Amino acid sequence: MTDTPFTPRVFSGIQPSGNLTLGNYLGAVRRFVEMQNSGIETIYCMVDLHAITVWQDPTDLRRHTRELAAAYLACGLDPQKSILFNQSQVPAHAQLGWVLNCVTRLGWMNRMTQFKDKAGKNAEKMSLGLYAYPSLMAADILAYKATHIPVGEDQKQHVELTRDIAAKFNHDFKVDFFPEPEPIIDGAGTRVMSLRDGTKKMSKSDPSDLSRINMMDDADTIAKKIRKAKTDPEPLPDNLDDLADRPEARNLINIYAGISGQTPADVITQVAGQQFGQFKPLLADLAVAHLSPIADEMRRLMGDVSEIDRILGDGANRAAEIAEPILAEAYDIVGFVRSR
Ligand code: AQP
């Protein structure tokens, strides 16, 4: 991590917009746990305000929020060490979000590729919230003056936008108030691709359940999804360069590397020459051995929803204690009268 004049503080979040996937786990949650255990202050959110930028059934949203909390805990986040909460319980996110909407330029928003990907040809029918999502994300980060943001590759552009928004706020008001946070993106799992199409990101909201491994999938389901994963007829080569035009094969090697904690280069030398009929069972065994204990723990935690709600409430109180004074100072800088 590079030096910053601001106290190092980690913030990140995940949308409770479906079942947590292996992509979210390798790209984000695993890094969250490493950063928690590195001794820096860590704040991790279930970003439910972001989730509703596309339609969420209210009952599903509540369940997914609690399941995401259970996943955080089952993967090793500790509510004594990290602040864990759902975004809507801390109003400072939405309040600072509005101020930042007024700092953010439309031209910047028009460059956001995730909106284009999600909206596709239906941009006119999308919510205003989906368009404004990145400036709310900037508020999530800046409400804590967070300096380091562990995310998957797909969120890099949004963290870069946050830097631009922070810089413009500081410049417009002639202050050095917000840090310009740094995305933390590394390792083999920063861009896990769909099991059905190696050129598309693995995503919670992909209509095909076969495209992803969900953290709550049982062993048979994981093995079946890997068996059915799209591949090509060639055996695995002995170097990564030869995978350049084989996105599905490259993805499975990356997943193996991400789960096992090895580099893709190490993995390819171990499995060189194998057909997918040999490699897929190896990958399935590895994935099941690693993910099954997490899924079991998630199921156990979901058996006591009131304890999850207690952890989220406590985390929200601690988060609000940090965010509210920062919001108040931002309001003062902007020139709002505060008299209550
Ligand atoms: N396929 C992925 N590979 C690596 N990292 C990923 N992340 C998401 N998908 C992958 C990372 O997970 C974190 C949480 O993402 P999010 O839920 O806030 O939003 P998202 O990036 O839009 O994730 P999804 O799964 O695709 O959700 P939906 O389908 O609801 O849009 C982020 O750090 C992200 O980089």
Asked whether residue 95 falls in the same domain as residue 186, the answer is yes
**Whether residue 118 lies in the annotated active site:** yes
Helix, strand, coil percent values for the chain (each to nearest 5): 60, 10, 35
- For residue 251, give every residue at least 6 positions away whose Cβ sits within 8 Å of its Cβ, in sequence order, or none: 192, 193, 194, 195, 198
* pLDDT recorded at residue 4: 67
- Residues of the chain where predicted confidence (pLDDT) is lower than 70: 1-4
Q: Is residue 312 included in any domain, yes or no?
A: yes
Residue from 11, 14, 34, 209 to probe ligand 1 pocket by mutation (most atoms less than 8 Å from CB) = 14
The residue among 196, 309, 193 whose CA lies nearest residue 254 is: 193
- For the chain, report the end-to-end CA distance as a whole number of angstroms: 40
Residue from 10, 17, 22, 24 to probe ligand 1 pocket by mutation (most atoms less than 8 Å from CB) = 24
Return the CATH number at 18.
3.40.50.620
Q: Is residue 205 included in any domain, yes or no?
A: no
- Minimum CA distance residue for ligand 1 atom 22: 203
Asked whether residue 52 falls in the same domain as residue 78, the answer is yes
Q: Which token pair is 44?
A: 């991790």
Domain that holds residue 241: 211-217+225-300
- Active site residue: 118, 145, 225, 280, which one? 118
H helix intervals, 75-218: 92-101, 106-109, 113-119, 128-142, 156-172
CA separation for the pair 87, 89 (Å, rounded): 5
Torsion of CA 34, 35, 37, 38, to 10 degrees: 120
Asked whether residue 168 falls in the same domain as residue 295, the answer is no
Asked whether residue 184 falls in the same domain as residue 329, the answer is yes
Residues at CB less than 6 angstroms from ligand 1: 14-15, 17-18, 21, 23-24, 26-28, 151-152, 154-155, 189-192, 201-205
Q: Which atom of ligand 1 is nearest to the CA of 152?
A: 35
Q: Is residue 311 included in any domain, yes or no?
A: yes
pTM of the model: 0.94
Asked whether residue 180 falls in the same domain as residue 36, the answer is yes
Q: Is residue 154 included in any domain, yes or no?
A: yes
**pLDDT tens, position by position, 185-203:** 988 789 999 999 999 999 9
Q: Is residue 198 included in any domain, yes or no?
A: no
Count of CB atoms situated within 10 Å of the CB of 312:
20
* pLDDT recorded at residue 68: 97
Asked whether residue 327 falls in the same domain as residue 183, the answer is yes
Asked whether residue 18 falls in the same domain as residue 147, the answer is yes
Q: Helix, strand or coil for residue 311?
A: helix
**Whether residue 204 lies in the annotated active site:** yes
193 CA distance to ligand 1 middle (Å) = 11
Asked whether residue 163 falls in the same domain as residue 31, the answer is yes
Q: How many structural domains are present in the chain? A: 2
CA separation for the pair 139, 160 (Å, rounded): 13
